């Protein structure tokens, strides 16, 4: 199947008991057994281990990312946490230097006393990256494009290095989505999504996902998920699955609107720098063209003045864009990373990677682009 068909039919089956076209919401915690230790259906004993609605979503996730197994979690951070539970004191993890604030918080605060050593590096400096690899290196963690500076990393080149050194390679594919980028095909071992964002697509669910290409790794991660309990409920699974069925249509419009918003911002006298991988001036534009089929709907920018107050005033004046955390919904959202999504990162670290106090991040939705541009124009006036 091609992708537009996969999002609707990939890994999916009509309900065998009723013929329902959409998977039912199996709102049950447990399943009947015909004899002790013999469930009526061998796949289902207890919903923390497996639930038919969640299974339908997980099969769809595996299909759209070209993996062998998908796992659905109660949040993107729960999915990330599940991966980290694979490691022990003395193990080392190399991560990209520009990360979602929640990921950075987990790495540096939740796991700080576990004995796991984290290194943060610009993944485009492959020599620096390779210099950090040693016998204790167990995982490489990459976001591409990153949140919020839209930095990219060459998945294929990093994958060659991790494979040669027998290191697990995980990619946060939340911003790009499998519609635009397929990390498993490029050499990654694990794909992570905050399914709250583009996969769900309607700002009505919190969810996370992991997709792997190695079946044994999938079994290991499923056991860790089952044993720690961060599973996605059936109703939320249904909502994400429903969102996936329109992913291709929505992301295409996100891309179209994003390009128009970027053109407007790039020519506005109050705007200093626009961060968007589709711009020829973007430092990683060539990588984007190499590994992405489109450039997405996420845009960040700074002001000529460099003043936080100007960014705050701009955000307060928006009428169509909603000032709120999160991203990837059908509605356009605006965010101040330093005060909102990335506030958990120390100020010196934010400034070190380029998250300045005048930085604004936009999640460009699927409204009429003319209305979005008119809103930006009046807020900048």
Bond from prior residue into 145 cis (ω within 30 degrees of 0): yes
Tokens representing 281 are 């001036």
Query: Residues 6, 54, 69, 197: which is the catalytic one?
Result: 197
Burial class (CB in 10 A: 0-12, 13-18, 19+), 36: exposed
Q: Are 180 and 251 in contact (CB under 8 A)?
A: yes
DSSP string, 306-362: --HHHHHHHHHH-SSSEE-S---SSS-EEE-TTTTTTTTS-HHHHHHHT--TT-EEE
Residue indicated by tokens 């998908």: 70
Report the distance separating Cα 56 and Cα 53, nearest Å: 5
Query: Residues 100, 179, 198, 276: which is the catalytic one?
Result: 100
Is-catalytic flag, 317? no
- What's the DSSP call for residue 231? B
Is-catalytic flag, 100? yes
Closest CA to 227 of 378, 85, 381, 70: 85
Query: Residues 81, 98, 172, 236: which is the catalytic one?
Result: 172
Report the distance separating Cα 178 and Cα 211, nearest Å: 11
Helix (H) or strand (E) holding 239: helix 234-244
Closest CA to 294 of 378, 182, 146: 182
Q: How distant, in Å, are the alpha carbons of 49, 248, 290, 303 from that of 182?
A: 27, 14, 12, 33
Is-catalytic flag, 361? no
> Which is it for strands 333-335 and 322-323: parallel, antiparallel or unpaired?
parallel
CB atoms within 10 A of CB 27: 12
Residue 121 sits at φ, ψ, to 5 deg, of -150, 150
Query: Residues 48, 138, 160, 317: which is the catalytic one?
Result: 48
Positions annotated as catalytic residues are 48, 100, 172, 197
């Amino acid at each position: 199947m091609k992708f537009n068909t996969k999002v609707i039919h990939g890994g999916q089956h009509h309900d065998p008991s009723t013929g329902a076209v959409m998977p039912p919401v199996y709102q049950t915690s447990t399943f009947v057994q015909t004899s002790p230790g013999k469930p009526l259906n061998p796949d289902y004993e207890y919903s923390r281990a497996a639930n038919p609605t969640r299974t339908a979503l997980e099969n769809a996730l595996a299909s759209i990312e070209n993996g062998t197994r998908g796992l659905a979690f109660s949040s993107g951070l729960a999915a990330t946490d599940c991966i980290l539970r694979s490691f022990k004191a003395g193990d080392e993890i190399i991560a990209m230097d520009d990360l979602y604030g929640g990921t950075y918080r987990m790495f540096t605060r939740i796991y700080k006393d576990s004995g796991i050593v984290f290194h943060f590096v610009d993944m485009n400096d492959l020599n620096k990256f390779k210099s950090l690899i040693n016998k204790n290196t167990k995982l490489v963690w990459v976001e591409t494009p990153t949140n919020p500076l839209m930095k990219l990393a060459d998945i294929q080149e990093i994958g060659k290095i991790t494979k040669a050194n027998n290191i697990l390679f995980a990619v946060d594919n939340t911003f790009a989505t499998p519609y635009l980028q397929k990390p498993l095909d490029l050499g990654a071992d694990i794909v992570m999504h905050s399914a709250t964002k583009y996969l769900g697509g309607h700002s009505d669910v919190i969810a996370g996902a992991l997709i792997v290409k190695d079946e044994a790794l999938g079994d290991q991660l499923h056991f860790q998920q089952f044993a720690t309990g961060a599973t996605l409920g059936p109703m939320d699974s249904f909502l994400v699955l429903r969102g996936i069925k329109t992913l291709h249509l929505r992301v295409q419009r996100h891309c179209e609107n994003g390009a128009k918003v970027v053109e407007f911002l790039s020519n506005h006298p109050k705007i200093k720098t626009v961060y968007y991988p589709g711009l020829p001036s973007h430092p990683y534009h060539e990588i984007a063209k190499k590994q992405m089929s489109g450039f997405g709907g996420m845009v960040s920018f700074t002001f000529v003045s460099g003043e936080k107050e100007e960014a705050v005033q701009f955000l307060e004046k928006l009428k169509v864009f909603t000032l709120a955390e999160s991203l990837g919904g059908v509605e356009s959202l605006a965010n101040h990373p330093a005060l909102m999504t990335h506030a958990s990162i120390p100020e010196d670290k934010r400034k070190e990677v380029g998250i300045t106090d005048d930085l604004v991040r936009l999640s460009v939705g699927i409204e009429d682009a003319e209305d979005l541009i008119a809103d930006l124009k009046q807020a900048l006036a």
